[in-house]
Amino acid sequence: MSREERRAYQRMAKKQDPYALPTSGPAARARQQQLERRKARRAATPSAPPGAISRRFLAWGVGGAAVAGLIAFSLAWPSGMPFAAYVGAGVALGWAVIAFGMRAFAGRSAPRP
């Protein structure tokens, strides 16, 4: 490519984003079809009713209880081992009770179809 051709190409591509995805062609068409298939799959998947126990909720409830329990255990550690374990277990249990209580409350207060 000559210097003149390179400069002409740079002038032509000056205002384009070098990281943008292509707007036409087979790659764009495949991306659009994949997006449509994903949307159709989401629409076909029935959503859980409010208050249902989902995998996401279980991860949030159990993971949050574990993290809160470990933090409480660490903070209570200077007081001695049995007490720290009781505090950690109590905070983890409290987190789980609050999480499941909020889920039950959300299920009861959800509007019925």
Phi-psi region of 96 (alpha: psi -120 to 50; beta: other; left: phi over 0): alpha
Predicted TM-score (pTM) of this structure? 0.56
User: For the residues 77-82, what does the mean pLDDT come to?
Assistant: 92
DSSP state of 53: -
Query: Which comes out higher in pLDDT, residue 80 or 19?
Result: 80
Which range, 17-26, 42-51, 92-101, has the best average confidence (pLDDT)?
92-101
Rounded to whole angstroms, the Cα distance separating 67 from 101 reads 19
- C-alpha span between 4 and 112 (Å, rounded): 70
Question: 26-78: per-residue pLDDT in tens?
Answer: 877 888 899 999 988 887 777 767 667 888 889 999 999 999 999 999 999 99
Give every CB contact of residue 4 below 8 A, 6+ residues apart in sequence: none
